[in-house]
Amino acid sequence: MPVDRVLLAEPRGFCAGVEKAIKALAWMVRVFEPPVYCYHEIVHNRHVVEQFRAQGVIFVDDVHEVPAGAPLMLSAHGSAPEVLAAARNNGRVVVDAVCPLVTKVHHELKVRARKGYTVLYVGHHGHEEAVGTMAVAPSSVRLLERVEDVDALGDLDAVDGQPPQVALLAQTTLSHDEWAGIVDRARERFPDLWMPNRSDLCFATTNRQAALKALAGQADAVVVIGSENSSNTVALEQVAVAFGCPRVIRVNDASELPDDLHGTVGVTAGASAPEALVQAVVERLSPVHGVERSTVTVEEEYFPPPPELRELLRGLESTLMLMNGVPAPGFDGTERVDGDSATRVLADDRSTVAADVLERLAGGCPEASFGARMMG
Ligand code: SF4
């Protein structure tokens, strides 16, 4: 299916939060005997989930299904406080891979609720991030999905005879246009509306949408790679349509590309879609005049592994050092020599790319195991 050219959006694909979550689960797979459990899909991408399933990870939607003492990871989308509490029961080894930017919204909600605000939360009904966030203060929060929902709120309760205090928060992965309409209407209705200094839409969501906007007007079609349950992927589809692209197609991978694409094709990927899928799509499009990168910014954000995992790795490495006299091998199986165990673990994680980790896991790399695996 040769097209004329491909415009490749940059940034696209894995964000810092997804990198953190995938590497954290990969560490768990290396450290523990299978099965490792994961509450909800670690990130919303079918290929990533399948790769971990092949490594013996069992995904559950109820932490009570996880046996006592088993290793359990909580997904990047964030979990309700009662889920966290239930997970930590029964001696399970729990590592929370929540993205720090989701944690920030949990914190904002907790503080506003404590101060007596009614919190309007813009998000998608039933999405795991929205469910986990709203559970932080369920009696103080109201969900908004559309502009009309602002008007449908009815009268909010006055507090001690004073007008209600109202705050507006958001799911991190909304499309900017979806968010902007609701903000405008909410400000009209509640002039004293409280909002965080920076919108809750995260840097990765913002950057991927900006990169797509920059190319959407020049493309005959845009291909968005990602899963249908990935909120930021769906937001990219909406952005491409809003910015005038005549044809917008979401695919899980290259096998789903239609055969009749032609002219200039824009390509991007949601924050949970691996780069290998992007490369396969570009290969299938076989652009006659090559690939042109459309870069709006370069992301350098890095989120370190979850604290529980850092502790676990430090402890395990110290034990292996005592037993063997050498540090445990790094992510890629090579020997690590510099620094103490904490420094080595962090340096190894920082220099590692999640896409490479997935590739090694898929290849059943023999160095993938930590050297001695722990029973859950
Ligand atoms: S999309 Fe944003 S909030 Fe979600 S994991 Fe990535 S950085 Fe975190």
pLDDT tens string 266-315? 999 999 999 999 999 999 999 999 999 999 999 999 999 999 998 888 88
Ligand 1 midpoint to CA 200 (Å) = 10
Residue nearest to atom 2 of ligand 1 (CA): 202
Residues lower than pLDDT 70 in the chain = 159, 320-343, 345, 364-376
| Euclidean distance between CA atoms 309 and 296, whole angstroms | 34
* In contact, 179 and 238? CB cutoff 8 Å: no
C-alpha dihedral (356, 358, 359, 361), degrees to nearest 10: 120
Name the E strands within 252-319.
Answer: 264-269, 291-295
How is residue 219 annotated by DSSP? Answer: -
For the Cβ of 42 lying below 6 angstroms from any atom of ligand 1, the answer is no
For the Cβ of 172 lying below 6 angstroms from any atom of ligand 1, the answer is yes
- Angle at CA of residue 206, ends 202 and 209, nearest 5°: 140
> Is 129 assigned a catalytic role?
yes
pLDDT of residue 366: 40
pLDDT of residue 373: 62
Ligand 1 midpoint to CA 264 (Å) = 29
Nearest residue to 295 via CA among 371, 216, 210: 210
For the Cβ of 174 lying below 6 angstroms from any atom of ligand 1, the answer is no
Q: Which long-range contacts (CB under 8 A, 24 or more apart) does 360-368 make?
A: 360/331, 360/332, 361/26, 361/29, 361/51, 361/52, 361/54, 361/55, 362/51, 362/54, 365/333, 366/333, 367/329, 367/332, 367/333, 367/334, 368/29, 368/30, 368/333
State the amino acid at position 374 in one-letter form: M
Provide the mean pLDDT of the chain.
91
Kindly list the structural domains of the chain, giving each domain's residue range(s) and its CATH number in brackets, ordered by start: 17-98+312-328+354-368 (3.40.50.11270), 101-189 (3.40.1010.20)
Q: Which of 23, 42, 75, 101 to mutate to test the pocket of ligand 1 (most atoms within 8 A of CB)?
A: 101
Catalytic-role residue among 10, 19, 128, 129: 129
* Residue 257: other Cβ atoms inside 10 A: 18
User: Closest ligand 1 atom, CA of 100?
Assistant: 8
**357 Cβ neighbours under 8 A, 6+ residues apart:** 22, 23, 26, 331
- Would you state the structure tokens that stand for residue 25, as one six-digit string? 């689960």
- Would you state the structure tokens that stand for residue 19, as one six-digit string? 């990198």
* Residue 106: other Cβ atoms inside 10 A: 22
